[in-house]
Homo-oligomer: A and B are copies of this chain.
Amino acid sequence: MKLIDFRKTDLTDGFWKKQVDVVSEVSVYNVYKRFEETGRFAALNCTWKKGDPYEPHIFWDSDIAKWIESVAFIIEKRPCPELEKVVDEVAVVMENNADEYGYFNSCYLVHDKPRWSDRTDHELYCAGHLVEAAVAYYVATGKRKLLDVMEKYLDYIYQVFVVDGSADFITPGHEEIELALIKLYDLTKNEKYLDLCSFFIDNRGNSTDKEYPGVAHKYSQSHLPVREQKTAEGHCVRACYLYTGMADLARLTGDKELSDACKAIFDDIIYRKMYITGGIGSAGRGEAFTIPYDLPDLTAYSESCAALSLAWFAQRMLLIENDSKYADTIEKVLYNNGLSSVSRDGKAFFYVNPLAIRTHLLERNTSQENTHENLTITQRKEVFDCSCCPPNITRFIASVADFLYTYDEDTVYVHQYMASETKTENFCISQKTSYPDNGKIEIRTGNIRNIAVRIPGWCEKYTLSVNGRNEDVEIINGYAYIKNLSSESVIMLDFDMTPFVVYPTSKIKDYISRAAVQRGPVVYCAEGADNNFPIMAFRLNTDTEFEEEYSDFYGTYTLTATGRIPLEKEELYSRRKEEMIDTKVRLIPYFGFANNGESDMEVFLYY
């Protein structure tokens, strides 16, 4: 199975075209400006010395790398000469500052710390992101400088880790380079990169790996050899980047043990450890997966980067086996935790994406005090000290069309619905749709024999016609298979977009007697700003009819539902149930929360 990469697709007017435009016209510039202002670009000069402002940090090269990758993705579709110039300058600076062996890490180069001495540092993580950036920039522009710098650097890494074994650790403390190496291998077909990737994956969690210093076993997925790992553990982003690399390697090598581990881990996430928004990571401490069904809303960590990494893991799984649970998960991330990461205007970002905000608990002196130390959760910020999320979101959205299709010899698989036109060497396919505003999708195919279209997991009613005839088609693993198409065909899909109520399992203690509202893939929330009562105490009528109103600001519909709120009493505890009065609640897409000032917010409403 292969991906149709986003470069072959033009998004046409529609929901995702607008998001990509915002990222391309605003976010990427804003991230640049903030990185410039906070010394991240200057750090690459490696001239920082003690006493200077903006001390280079071990993560910073990766921030720049993700920004470069965003630029590379954006210039595939629109020229941005001034951004391209910045990247060209970075390539020169890196070439000049890499040492004779090719080593480049701006933080290590200006500090005295011996390289490869601390597994908890992020040298290999930064290298991985720079490799991804170099690949993307070369593909976009044909310019080799950055790629040459990184290939030389990788030769050195290969020598240190594989040939000499001279580093103080065997596998990276923060995974990422594994999936980057696969991208470089896909580009170059140089087996050395596949070898290096296998080296890092195969050695992870082996007894020799564990004995190296600085290993927090589960935190960095080093508690077991990867093929024995069956549950998602530890720091979410590290975990899903590793799982993505594992799935890549399993696909390329046909390693069934490895793909089985990936399948088990993926199921562990979506059946036990995932928020309804596609978010992962219940605990701020360790930014980590915790135990099954431990998914608090108020203290959800649900880091932006973690949700994106889950989408990439799911995407790689689709290349191993076609099952709609993967594309459903991607869709969850796309329309919820992924998009909530960035403000409507594209300027500001969330690191943490809670599923409830109770402003009265945010002041000091409450039982929730310091839940998310040093992180804002009520308003997005333009930059963070640890600013991994902003450039990650820009590269994610800029390449969002990557999630649309996969194909094999005789079938094209349609995973997501976005107004778009796609041309490959052998076939073409387009979608006309206002999804998710409505559920109608017109898919036109050219030179495609068989097609499999995903019936979203949330959808209970739909129609499907092929060339004007309603078709009864076989559904396998959530996909409707339509075979033997004529060379030019039209498939019409119509998913019922009536909003609906979603009930979490009672195993999640925080959501008993609570329900969420979805319209298509979009999860809704209630904000205090829109409702003149304490939304926490609102009880949803689960048989409510939903009123829909289109909102330009959110780019899709807002909803109104009926319910009740309690009349206030003085007593804390009473033999009588509170009297309830009828009211309506306005619901907005979760991805749009916190765009109207600091406000209470609830995804799960009591009923």
Contacts and interface: CB of A to CB of B under 8 A. Distances in A.
Given A513-B606, A574-B503, A578-B503, A363 B291 contact: yes
Given A272-B572, A512-B513, A365 B503 contact: no
A472 to B, nearest CB: 23
Contacts of A534: 506-507
A571 interface: yes
Q: How large is the interface on A (under 10, 10 to 19, 20 to 34, 35 or more residues)?
A: 35 or more
Greatest chain B CB density within 10 A among A272, A363, A500, A578 is at A578
Q: Which 5 A-B pairs have the closest CB atoms?
A: A513-B513, A506-B537, A282-B367, A506-B566, A283-B367
A274 B572 contact: yes
Given A283-B369, A572-B276, A575-B458, A537 B566 contact: no
Interface of A: 218, 270-272, 274, 276, 282-283, 285, 288, 290-291, 293-296, 299, 358, 360-361, 363, 365-369, 458, 460, 500-509, 512-514, 516, 534, 536-537, 539, 542, 565-566, 568-578, 606-607
B460 A504 contact: no
| A291, A516, A539: most-surrounded residue (chain B CB, <10 A) | A291
A525 to B, nearest CB: 15
Nearest to A515: B577
A361 B513 contact: no
20 contacts: A271-B572, A283-B365, A290-B367, A291-B361, A294-B368, A295-B572, A296-B367, A299-B367, A502-B574, A503-B574, A503-B576, A503-B577, A504-B574, A505-B578, A506-B565, A506-B566, A506-B578, A509-B536, A513-B514, A513-B606
A291 B360 CA distance: 8
Q: Interface residues of A: mostly helix, strand, loop or mixed?
A: loop
B537 A512 contact: yes
B512 A606 contact: yes
Given A291-B365, A503-B578, A505-B566, 8 more contacts: A272-B572, A283-B365, A295-B572, A502-B575, A505-B568, A505-B573, A506-B565, A508-B572
A366 B537 contact: no
A270 B513 contact: no
A359 to B, nearest CB: 11
Contacts of A276: 572-573
Contact of A502 (B282, B566, B573): B573
A271 B570 contact: yes
B367 A294 contact: yes
